[in-house]
Structure 1
Amino acid sequence: MAKIVDQSTEQKIKEAAQRVFIRKGYAAATTREIADEAGINNALLNYYFRTKEKLFDIVMQEQVATLFGKIYPIINNEETTLEEKISAVINYYTAVLLEQPGLTLFVLNEMQNKPERIAGQMKTNHVMMEAVIARQLREVRPDIHPMQLIMSIMGMALFPFMGRAVFEKSAGIDETAFTKMLKDRANLLPVFIKSILKG
Structure 2
Amino acid sequence: MAPSKKDQIANGALTAFAQLGYSETTMDAIAEMAQVAKGTLYYHFSTKEELFLYVIEKGVKMLIYHVDNVIQNEELSLEDRILNVLDEHLRFFSENQDLCFLLLSAFSGDGQRDRMVGNLLGGYFSTMESHMLELQQQGYIRADIDIRTLASALFGMVGFTVLRKQFRKEPVNSAADKQTLRYMLSGMFQNNV
**What SS does structure 2 have at the residue aligned with 1:43?**
helix
Amino acid at match of 2:124: M
Equivalent residue, structure 2, for 1:27: 23
Q: What is the aligned length? A: 181
Q: Secondary structure at the match of 2:143?
A: coil
Q: How much has 1:25 moved relative to structure 2?
A: 2.1
Structure 1's 160 and 100: CA in aligned 2 closer, same or farther, altered over 3 A? Answer: same
RMSD between superposed Cα atoms in Å: 2.9
Classify 1:149/1:86 alpha carbon distance in 2 versus 1 (closer, same or farther; 3 Å).
farther
**Aligned residue in 2 for 1:159:** 160
Amino acid at match of 1:34: I
Look up the SS of the partner of 1:163 in the other structure.
Answer: helix
Change (3 A) 1:156 1:82: farther
1:116 counterpart letter in structure 2:
N
Q: In structure 2, what is the Cα distance between the partners aligned to 1:97 and 1:110?
A: 15
Q: CA deviation at 1:44?
A: 1.9
Letter matched to residue 187 of structure 1:
Q
Kindly state the Cα deviation for residue 68 of structure 1 after the two structures are TM-superposed: 4.2
Normalising by structure 1, we get a TM-score of 0.73
The answer to whether the 8 A contact 1:13-1:38 is kept is: yes
* Residue 121 (structure 2) aligned to one of 110, 118, 121: 118
Partner of 2:99: 103
Structure 1 partner of 2:10:
14
Secondary structure of 2:89's counterpart equals helix
Q: 1:77 to 1:149 in 2, by over 3 A?
A: farther
Sort the Cα spacing of 1:82 and 1:23 in 2 relative to 1 into closer, same or farther, 3 A.
same
Give the Cα–Cα distance (whole angstroms) in 2 for the partners of residues 180 and 37 of structure 1: 25
Contact 1:97–1:161 (Cα < 8 Å) also in 2 = yes
